[in-house]
Structure 1
Amino acid sequence: MFVLTSSQMREIDRKASQEIGIPEVVLMENAGFCVFEEIRKDFETLDDKNIAVFCGKGNNGGDGFVVARYLAQVCPNVKVFLFDENVTLISKVFLDILKRLEVDVSILSEELLLSLKTQRFDIIVDAIFGIGLSKDIDGLYKKAIEYINGSGAYVYSVDIPSGICSDSASVRGCAVKANKTVTFVYPKIGNILYPGSYYCGKVIVKDIGIPEKIIKDIKVKILTAEDLDISKFYRFPDSHKGDYGKVGIVAGSKYYPGAAVLCSNAAVQSGCGLCYLITPQEALYFQNLRKPEIVVLPLEGKEGVISFDGFVKFDEYLAKFDVLGFGCGLTKNEEVEKILIHILENFQIPIVIDADGLNTLSSSQKAKKLLANYKSQKVLTPHYMEAARILGVDVKDVAKSPIDAATKIASEFRAICVLKGSRTIITDGDEVFINVLGNPGMAKGGSGDVLTGIILSMIAQGYSAFEAAKLSVYLHSLSADILLEKKAMQTILPSDIIEGLDSAIRRLIEG
């Protein structure tokens, strides 16, 4: 399913009306009716409900007028509150109809808003601002939104909750907290990313009669099972371990031995044929939790962390790996930087860089330049803070525009970027996929190490870096969601997600 920006939605509306010939009033009528249908579906009867419809002066308010008209046909207690009678020309068509039908329409004022606190509404429709909001909300609008949020009513937002920026999902001063949001054609970025998604409640996408043929060149999609290639999950009876790839992982230190264990355990659990873990000897005390199938190549460390001199002794192994993972639990120091530069200068194998590999990359101009020119496939898996370091910006900038941040990283390094968060973003710098699976139980140290291991395994099994990233993010989150069926969020561990991969893969195969 595509995800739209506000400008893309406006262009789709324009094409529908100007190129196809569908009148704008028809689209507005359809949109309003879709919201009414959703309300009628949710409530067995409406004739005993008190309903308020708050309408702005733009086209979102026009949608609200249509909703109000349909509601008034089945409910005697519908009140429309209008902020300004100077509405758009299309909206005026439907406002005039309401007046001729003698629906209760009032111009909202602070005094009227204050009086509403003595009334009780069962349902409130928010049609104040749509996808074109470009400034922070204040004044009477802010007070109205605060009233809606404190009303106790069941709240429906039209297209997007008023106060949410459609293109960034940020809150513009304040925002309506809806129980349900009915959006049209496709969801908007503000419906999907946080915090906007939180304010939307349940998002319902409705068709308002716009032909699919005019919806073109949309690069952002919600990641679904239909976007995944599972053809390589099939295994021929006469296959052997060499057919499923050799994963090499450079990870761990005496401070973070678990990162290496989680990453390598995830790699073997998700299907690679062989997994080699290159880790400092000082990290081996934690290896009792390692799966015995993993081949450990302990190297001579330096004060408990990886050393360049120890690492280069394993160069012959690197030449045999189908993919290399670098960074989990290494710590950030000069030795790590020297090793990363050595790899980028001397090898051309697919590489997945995570954690301390990314932190090292962010502070090393030489490593950045080498990585940008590295010819083999590359996957970078930053969280927001790591992305901010790489881009040289504040983490708030990444949080405000995560899609832009991910595409910039992917483009700069000609790599696949997996920007990890509550809505993980996967992009090659052109196409963008947003993952909507997963739950807060994943918010624990080590979850990223598990994801890196899965990506490595999928690349080793023959998937391209982009396909591997999409598939791995989906499986990682699906495993956590399956666990949630039996466990509380608080008790889900990254190691549980590894064990849950069996159920996730089965469910994906079985559809």
Structure 2
Amino acid sequence: MKNLPIVDKNSKYVVSAAEMKRCDQTTIDHFGIPQDVLMERAALSLCKYVKKALPASGQVLIFAGNGNNGGDGIAAARILHQEGIRVTLVLCNHSLHDKGIGARRTVACNSQLRIALSYGVNVIDFDASKINAEIKKSDVIVDAMLGIGCTRNLQGDYLTAVCEINYAKEDDEDKTPHVIAADIPTGIDADTGQVQGHAICADETVTFGFLKMGCAFYPGASHTGIIHIVNIGITDAGFLEEVPSFKYLDIEDNNDISNMLLPPRNPAGNKGSFGKVLIAAGSRKISGACIMAAESCLRSGAGMVRVFTEKTNLSAIQTLLPEAMTDIYSEEAFEGGMDKELSEYKEMLLKALEWSDAVVCGPGIGTGNSGREILKLILENSKNTLVLDADALNIISENDDIRKLVCEYKAEIIMTPHLAEFSRLIKKNIHDCRACLIKEAIKLAKEFHASIICKDARSVITDGERNFINLSGNDGMATAGSGDVLAGLLGALVLSGFSCPFEAAVAGAYLHGVAGDMAALKNGRQGMTARDISGSLKDIFSGKTL
């Protein structure tokens, strides 16, 4: 598998429950670090953030399940107690009356409870009739009930505890408890981020070793609060030769994004050497798409941009984007009866393809005759990296012959479907897509031999072998034209010196999200527009960031 020198250097693993359990067990069995040591370090990490949130003379309430996540919570209760902090430990789904190990407690959990009791920690059994009073007395609540072990809807003590904690946080009273989740909020599926009926709404989540998939994907991500990834002794080495399937970009210093993530530019370069991008976009009814894609491309480092668009867009492009070159056509010619003009337009497009180093096709071209013919001509004649977006994707989903041309395309392709376009490409109902997004995105990448950016609140980027989740961006980016900005950005990045278009796709999705975050700070999420995102790209590339 080809190395991604820039992206891999700045990325970390995001893990499923099975991957985390395997790494945990390898750390214990292969490297010989005792489980009690790992649990003690997890508990110390929890205590660090509890003490930061706890007011003077405050009280802590810890809910501990009967698994190893509960063991982390029990150990934290003992450490806090030893430091003179008032703490009450509540046993959920097990009891002080349970003797020994077995179905009610894991070995490590049972051991930690025995130690806590010997130190005199205040331990109580869960009592639904009294738990509300305990919650109201508390300043900080620690959720150490289930961790990554939640795979079905909550029941019993767990359900009641989650509901009572969440009710307390929604209370109108001045004092509401600060909630810290251990590893992942109880009620969140660690693999999918789905809520299992109900889930803790945490203010902070202290997650051990690696970010969990359930904390990365929504709706789970909306339950975590601020995430702290802490090192408790479980490292990449624990994966041995079988590394996790997904990574995410993580650049700690936002002020250094351009230096960390962009290949160096040639100081002796010229507009030709920095790349020529052809953007086939816009139609009679939609003029903004071609302008936003072209502007984004120019702001992202392309040396020259040529826009192939419907003639009614010429004046707007010349006024708003005089830096771009233009070739224009008439939609009427593609409707029939204008053979000479149509031949001239096709010849113009072929010459533009010959001129270009990369092609962006799709934003606003429509799905009618002109859009179909333009896409077909590009697929049959271009030999360069191709970014397919918006209407190009809809045309592919509707036309089997054009879909076949995509599969047979000899050069690299990046496809950028949002969830609705993705659902059409995989021929599934949009409401069913999130549940199978990862699997189907990988399948689609393999079918088209392409890099896929499936755009959502958490975008998935895959080439069928390597997989990334993008964590940058915000809901303000759900605005018309945002995808056009990404398409233009990618058109420039594939010519910027990345090791391959897939690396450019991962970097592009991340930079697009960072630009969206910057635009939100300047303009507010509700009021920001796609051109605000494009403007923020200029700031990123000039070294000004969050």
**TM-score of the alignment, normalized to the shorter chain, above 0.5:** yes
Alignment-derived partner of residue 514 in structure 2:
478
Confirm or deny that 1:504 pairs with 2:543: no
Shift of 1:241: 1.5
CA shift for structure 1 position 125: 0.6
Q: Could you tell me which residue of structure 2 aligns to residue 312 of structure 1?
A: 346
**Does the aligned pair in 2 maintain the 1:282–1:301 contact within 8 Å?**
no
**Quick one: which of 36, 61, 78 aligns to 2:70?**
61
Hey, what does 1:11 align to over in structure 2?
22
- Deviation of 1:381 after TM superposition, in Å, equals 0.4
State the 1:116 CA deviation: 4.3
- 1:351 is displaced (CA, Å) by 0.7
Which TM-score applies when normalising by structure 2? 0.87
Map 1:309-458 to 2 at 5 A.
311-313=345-347, 314-458=349-493
Match of 2:117 among 99, 114, 122: 99
Q: 1:289 to 1:275 in 2, by over 3 A?
A: same
What one-letter code is carried by the residue in structure 2 that aligns with 1:360? I
Residues in 2 aligned to 1:268 and 1:185: alpha-carbon distance in whole angstroms = 40
Match of 1:278 in 2: 308
- Structure 1 residues 215, 206: CA separation in 2 closer, same or farther (over 3 Å shift)? same
Question: In the alignment, residue 86 of structure 2 is paired with which amino acid?
Answer: N
Aligned to 1:194: 218
Gaps of 5+ in 2: 1-11, 96-103, 169-175
**Identity over aligned residues, as a percent?**
31
User: Which one is further off, 425-434 or 163-172?
Assistant: 425-434
Q: What is residue 250 of structure 2 aligned with on the other side? A: 224
Letter in 2 for 1:344: L
Matched, 1:170 2:194: yes
**CA shift for structure 1 position 120:** 2.4
Deviations 1:244-292, CA, capped at 9 Å, x for gaps:
1111111111221101111111111212121111111133354355310
C-alpha contact (below 8 Å) 1:129/1:162 kept by paired residues = yes
Q: Would you say the 8 A contact 1:181–1:204 is kept in 2?
A: yes
Q: Is the Cα–Cα contact under 8 Å of residues 255 and 304 in structure 1 kept in the other structure?
A: no
Q: 1:148 to 1:342 in 2, by over 3 A?
A: same
CA 1:305–1:349 in structure 2 vs 1: closer, same or farther (change >3 Å)? Answer: farther
Aligned residue for 1:39?
50
Q: Deviations over 1:280-316 (max 9, x none)?
A: 1133354355310111111021399999767523212
Residue of structure 2 equivalent to 1:267: 297
1:129 has 2:146 as partner: yes
Partner of 1:494: 530
Aligned-partner residue type, residue 391 of structure 1: I
Residue 502 (structure 2) aligned to one of 466, 472, 488 = 466
Q: Does the 8 A contact of 2:335 with 2:369 survive in 1? A: no
Q: Distance in 1 between matches of 2:344 and 2:416?
A: 26
Counterpart secondary structure, 2:61: strand
Aligned to 1:244: 274
- Tell me, what secondary structure is at the counterpart of 2:433? helix
Taking the TM superposition and a 5 Å limit, the aligned residue runs for 1:139-178 are: 139-151=156-168, 152-178=176-202
4+ aligned runs moved over 6 Å, structure 1: 226-229, 303-308
- Aligned letter for 1:386? E
Aligned to 1:106, the other structure's residue is in SS state strand
With a CA cutoff of 8 Å and minimum separation of 6, indicate the structure with the bigger relative contact order: 2
Cα distance in structure 2, aligned partners of 1:383 and 1:23? 46
| 1:73-102 CA distance string (max 9 Å, x none) | 234532221121321111100111222223
Take 1:310 and 1:161, find their aligned partners in 2: how far apart are those partners? Answer: 62
Counterpart contact for 1:170–1:190, Cα < 8 Å: yes
Contact 1:325 1:351 survives alignment (8 Å)? yes
Q: Distance in 1 between matches of 2:234 and 2:335?
A: 59
1:122–1:225 Cα change, 3 Å:
closer
Secondary structure in 2 aligned to 1:243? coil
CA distance in 2, matches of 1:444, 1:486: 16
For residues 403 and 505 of structure 1, what CA distance do their matches in structure 2 show? 31
Whether the 8 Å CA contact 2:53–2:178 is kept in 1: the answer is no
Q: 1:344 to 1:315 in 2, by over 3 A?
A: same
Is the alpha carbon distance of 1:232 and 1:140 closer, same or farther for their aligned partners in structure 2, counting shifts above 3 Å?
closer
Q: Which amino acid aligns with 1:183?
A: T
Aligned to 1:91, what secondary structure does the other structure show? helix
Paired residue secondary structure (1:3) = strand
SS for the counterpart of 2:273 is: helix
1:267 aligned partner, one-letter code: C
Q: Is the 8 A contact 1:300 1:310 kept in 2?
A: no
Q: Relative to structure 1, is the Cα distance of residues 251 and 130 closer, same or farther in structure 2, using a 3 angstrom cutoff?
A: same
Amino acid of the structure 2 residue aligned with 1:100: S
- Asked whether the equivalents of residues 324 and 456 of structure 1 are also in contact (C-alpha less than 8 Å), the reply is yes
Matched residues in 1 for 2:387 and 2:479: separation? 21
Q: Does 1:302 align with 2:326?
A: no
1:150-205 per-position Cα deviation (integer Å, ceiling 9, x unaligned):
22210010000001111111111110000000001111111222221110000001
Q: Is the 8 A contact 2:314 2:326 kept in 1?
A: no
- In the aligned structure 1, how far is the partner of 2:513 from the partner of 2:59? 41
Aligned amino acid, residue 178 of structure 1: A
Q: Which residue of 1 aligns with 2:3?
A: none
- Return closer, same or farther for 1:215/1:166 CA change in 2, 3 Å cut-off: same
